[in-house]
Amino acid sequence: MTRLLLRLPWFISAPVILALTIVIAYGFNYLLADYFERSFLDEASPLAAAPGATGTNQPAAQPPTSEATPPAPPADATPSSPAATAAPTEATGGGVLARGQFRDGDPGHNGEGTALVIEAPDGSLVLRVEEFSVTGGPDLFVILSTDPDGSRDSAKAGLDLGDLKATDGNFNYDIPGGTDVSQYKSVTIYCRSFNIVFAIATLEAGT
């Protein structure tokens, strides 16, 4: 290739060499910059405000205290409106349906932290990662996989929850309503461009 370029007139070879240099530089920048770049995100747990919530790194919300307690009404008092006799609505607490610990993926790609499949108090489903850290890279996605070992093939066919939000931190992904989460056995951090698994968390049911 080099000999061929040297045989060409300079006004032809020079632009070709310049174009090749730009392409190579862009390629290295695209690949290597993502591997070294770090980012951090800290989102609140969907269980943070749930009464008695446990299993996440977010403390359960404490009920507000009142400085003064209003006097109780007389025993024979008649409510002045229907609202006075309405029973309070009981909120569901939600909970952790499954969890797993992230481990390293393909050689040279490392991950750690906790994956939680959560049913939020409103009944929605959320995948949450906590104290998470993974090797940086291009085109990374978060995949729910039916394979406990999070293989490449299962990642390709799994439920795509979207782009990896950050290389480090605590953050959430909405799981589509109606999803049978019991069929998914792992969370995979997967690079589509190069078909590489960066990290895997095998899920086990229960809190």
Exposed, middle or buried, 63 (CB in 10 Å: 0-12/13-18/19+)?
A: exposed
pLDDT of residue 78: 44
pLDDT tens digit sequence for 48-81: 866 555 455 544 444 444 444 555 555 554 444 3
> What's the rounded mean pLDDT across residues 162-182?
97
Contacts (Cβ under 8 Å, ≥6 apart) of 55: 47, 95, 96, 99, 116, 207
Work out the end-to-end distance of the chain between its first and last CA atoms, rounded to an integer number of angstroms: 61
- Domain extents in the chain: 39-56+92-205
DSSP one-letter string for 21-85? HHHHHHHHHHHHHHHH---EEE---TTTTSTT--SSSSPPPPPPP-SSPPPPPPTTPPPSSGGGG
CB 94 within 8 A of CB 118: yes
Residue 13, pLDDT above cutoff 90: no
Q: What is the mean pLDDT of the chain?
A: 79
To which H or E segment does residue 134 belong? strand 125-134
pLDDT of residue 83: 36
Indicate the pLDDT class of residue 11, thresholds 50, 70 and 90: low
pLDDT of residue 206: 75
Residue 90, pLDDT above cutoff 50: no
Residue with the two structure tokens 């959430």:
172
Indicate the pLDDT class of residue 174, thresholds 50, 70 and 90: very high
pLDDT of residue 72: 54
> What's the rounded mean pLDDT across residues 154-169?
97
> What's the rounded mean pLDDT across residues 83-110?
74
Indicate the pLDDT class of residue 202, thresholds 50, 70 and 90: very high
**Rounded distance, CA 189 to CA 168, Å?**
13
Per CATH, the number for 39-56+92-205 is 2.60.40
Instruction: Give Cα 1 distance to the centre of its chain.
Output: 46
Residue 37, pLDDT above cutoff 80: yes
Residue with the two structure tokens 């489903």:
125
Per the confidence metrics, is the pTM higher than 0.75?
no
Closest CA to 193 of 151, 149, 140: 140
Indicate the pLDDT class of residue 88, thresholds 50, 70 and 90: very low
Higher pLDDT pick, 75 / 120: 120
